[in-house]
Structure 1
Amino acid sequence: MSGSILIFDSGIGGLSILAEIRKVLPGHDCCYLFDNARLPYGELEESELIQGSVSLICEYALQVKAAIVVVACNSASTLILPILRQRLTIPVVGVVPAIKPAAKISKLRHIGLLATPGTIRRAYTQELIQAFAEDCQVDLFGSSELVMLAEAKLAGETVDMAKLNCLLAPIQDSALDTIVLGCTHFPILATEIQQVLGRGITLLDSGQAVADRVMFLLKDLEVIKGAGHTDANYRAVYTSASITEGLRERLVEEGFNTIEPHSPTCLR
């Protein structure tokens, strides 16, 4: 998988980022590494999140001879990007909440950020708000339960709409017109979230912006494999002891030809 894109997330939320990357780079090899043994990242202590995720990413960047790393997790991106950029010689792209575009499009100047508790707490998030949404009212909504609902949906389970309604009730009670989906898991639930909140609220995420950045950097490195590259390799690696059959089937549907547990002693 030399020259591949290494995509990292705490769970399968990063598949929403991968979907956008595949639109612009349909023939490129990808390794999707998800640390589901420690899911959800929004509940982890910062030191534990940093130590575990940096170690995993550096290990697999070497294993697959990655050309670029995408940290497809807002909770991790707010902490580990500077460390990874010191440790690795390849480009590292992170995911940050789409505060800037949300502030630009909000007609009411009232936006919300729906993210994990970890992302909500980060100083980086406050800096984004101060830099790009100073003239807006910004409401913060933290939820780790939405992460697990998204995981369950991709594993083939029906979304619990009653529970979703309850989780989104604080947003329904507000007067905002734009919501930033500040966790890569949340676009997986975009249809259901829109159903609950109604069409009067615009949902924004960072997926397309990340994909465009990845394409730009790979073009600069001159390692892009085009749409005519028919034998693209899609490999998924998880850190738990096992995954559900429903999730495995979904990964196969997504085009992954290798799905395996993390094996730190097995270099390929």
Structure 2
Amino acid sequence: MTQQPKVLIFDSGVGGLSVYKEIAACLPQLDYYYLFDNAAYPYGELERQTLLERVNKLVSAMVEKHQIDLVVIACNTASTIVLPSLRELLTIPVVGVVPAIKPASVLASKAVGLIATPATVKREYTHELIRNFSQNKTVEMLGSTRLVDIAEEKLRGQAVSLEEMAQLLAPLANKIDVAVLGCTHFPLIKEEIQTVLGSQVMLVDSGEAIARRVKDLLALNESNETSGGREIYSSAPPWQEDALNQSLTELGFSPVRHFHLEI
């Protein structure tokens, strides 16, 4: 049996698991490694240079240790900053995520809502995407760190308050017909966002596009083969580790292991 490619998925938290789910649904036979830099979570509050150094060191160390074949930076904040330097450092493909402004603008008849982190909303890269692909549509932007925390809490079995969600999403109420989930954490709370915004609002994220990109870069076909390995690492002991491991088991991962690296 030929050895399957190894894919590393990287994020500051567990949000990138939404991207993992899309890729693994398409290519279950691959060996997946997931690394989250929770020691520096949330990334939106880090200085640019600090973020660059952390991601470059952590990712390149994991690539070397596990002989990774492809890296997915499953974090909008990190993708907009580290992709050029990481691609210079590594000899393997590096895939990033960007808010799905382009497809959303094609689908919207009224206006687009961008739900993201405050850092993504402020970043020039995001404004450039809007200028390039959404000239004829209004884009309402909403930056929220609390929504990221809610997704982290949900994965640890905590109930999501729809009342709190409604307050957080109130600035978009009745203004948009397509919403971009501009943070990889947000597909984890997609049902709740849909309930609050209403069925008339279409939700768009980058997960499927990333899965297609990975499949093309590795030149693989979809497969019914048995699942490959699933390992997950964190840069610091995760909070509510037992509850998190319970959810990770359901996704096919072994319990979280600590990946220590002096940064």
**Which band: TM-score by shorter chain?**
over 0.9
Give the distance between the partners of 1:2 and 1:37, measured in 2 at CA. 31
Report matched runs for 1:150-161 at 5 Å: 150-161=151-162
Matched, 1:180 2:180: yes
The corresponding residue for 2:116 is 115
Query: Could you tell me whether the CA contact under 8 Å between 2:28 and 2:227 is conserved in 1?
Result: no
Matched, 1:147 2:144: no
The corresponding residue for 1:44 is 46
* Deviation of 1:231 (Å): 6.0
Q: Stretches of 4+ moved more than 4 A in 1? A: none
The corresponding residue for 2:232 is 236
Give the distance between the partners of 1:73 and 1:25, measured in 2 at CA. 20
Unaligned runs of 5+ in 2: none
* Deviation of 1:90 (Å): 0.3
Give the distance between the partners of 2:197 and 2:223, measured in 1 at CA. 39
- Superposed CA deviations along residues 213-251 of structure 1, whole A, max 9, x for unmatched, are 0000011xx7x79432x3611000011224421101111
Question: TM-score normalized by structure 1?
Answer: 0.92
* Deviation of 1:264 (Å): 3.3
Give the distance between the partners of 1:162 and 1:225, measured in 2 at CA. 40
2:83 aligned residue (81, 84, 100) = 81
CA root-mean-square deviation: 1.7
Q: 1:168 aligns to what SS in structure 2? A: helix
Give the distance between the partners of 2:25 and 2:227, measured in 1 at CA. 17
- Superposed CA deviations along residues 112-156 of structure 1, whole A, max 9, x for unmatched, are 111001111111111111111111111111011100000000011
How many residue pairs were aligned?
259
Give the distance between the partners of 1:247 and 1:125, measured in 2 at CA. 31
Give the distance between the partners of 1:168 and 1:155, measured in 2 at CA. 22
Give the distance between the partners of 1:74 and 1:33, measured in 2 at CA. 15
- Superposed CA deviations along residues 57-78 of structure 1, whole A, max 9, x for unmatched, are 1110111111100000001101
The corresponding residue for 1:8 is 10
Give the distance between the partners of 2:50 and 2:176, measured in 1 at CA. 35
Report matched runs for 1:59-138 at 5 Å: 59-108=61-110, 110-138=111-139
Letter in 2 for 1:29: D
Query: Could you tell me whether the CA contact under 8 Å between 1:73 and 1:183 is conserved in 2?
Result: yes
Unaligned runs of 5+ in 1: none
Q: 1:130 aligns to what SS in structure 2? A: helix
Letter in 2 for 1:56: L
2:245 aligned residue (228, 243, 248) = 248
* Deviation of 1:200 (Å): 1.3
- Superposed CA deviations along residues 150-186 of structure 1, whole A, max 9, x for unmatched, are 00000111112222111111111x5211110000000
* Deviation of 1:258 (Å): 5.0
Letter in 1 for 2:120: T
